[in-house]
Structure 1
Amino acid sequence: MNKELEHKFVTELQNNQNVVHKICSLYTNNREAHNDLFQEITIQLWKAYPKFRGESKFSTWMYRVSLNTAITLYRKSKKRIKTQDYDSVIFKIKADEYDETQEQQLKLMYNAVKQLGDIDKALVFLYLEDKDYSEIAETLGITEVNARVKMNRVKNKLRTILNP
């Protein structure tokens, strides 16, 4: 792969890595698993990047790959996420620390969201990222109407979880 493509990928990943951290927080329970999932998502993004055609925004494409990777790994092993080595490419990306103390107010919400199903988690995540329903639908591969209906149902589930 050429250096220009690698540079574009690294720049996009650095600009959007917070999204990946948030996805990791939804699908993991500890720092080690979070870091492992972040690494695995980065590898999957890199492997898929040459096929990225630019028909959607990079962030939309990244959400889809990241969520699919997280959901696939979560389903394979609920105890520990296994990662693979990818020694042929070394990325020099300064990982921003994901400071959980700044997220104290969201801790209850994250715990509630973790109790949801895989698709519902992804839906909430995209909604909280201020994605419109058309982008949510595109990312999840569902219709816009279905995304709206599912979101209303998820809101009701979260109310029930947070206010038993």
Structure 2
Amino acid sequence: MPHPLLNKTAPSLTLPNASGEQFTLEPGKSGVPTALFFYPAAGTYGCTKEACEFRDAVKVFKRTKCEVVGVSQDAVAKQKKFVDEQGLNYPVLSDASGEARKAYSVGKGLMGLTEARVTFFIDSKGIVRDVYDSTLNFSAHSKFVSKWLEKVEKETPSM
């Protein structure tokens, strides 16, 4: 069953970042694509691997001008420790209330045993073009975004 946000406008969010400051994500406002990924828990093996893959891919994503944002339900202090320990170079947001997960219809993974690991590729107009949902294949999330960036780059006429 397709995700309910597929081909629809992505919701805007305002959540605290790892420094505790309010961060507002308004997909499409800046005119660049957004990779928004939800992960289960900061500091765990899979989430660290996924977050670091996005960290390392940000240089490539900047070439194509893509914003990367990570979200989990961890408290700000835990997010701050995670960001500092891993040298994450993109906003990591605390969704302690679960409002972002609800807005993006992100449920549970592994038969309800954990929070789901879901990545949204949102185009430069703020439309959710595709959703990748895989709790165990944490390395595939940044590759999913790379493939979409290549596809969108081909769709955009060069000047």
Q: TM-score, normalised by structure 1?
A: 0.26
Larger radius of gyration: 1
Higher relative contact order (CA 8 A, sep 6+): 2
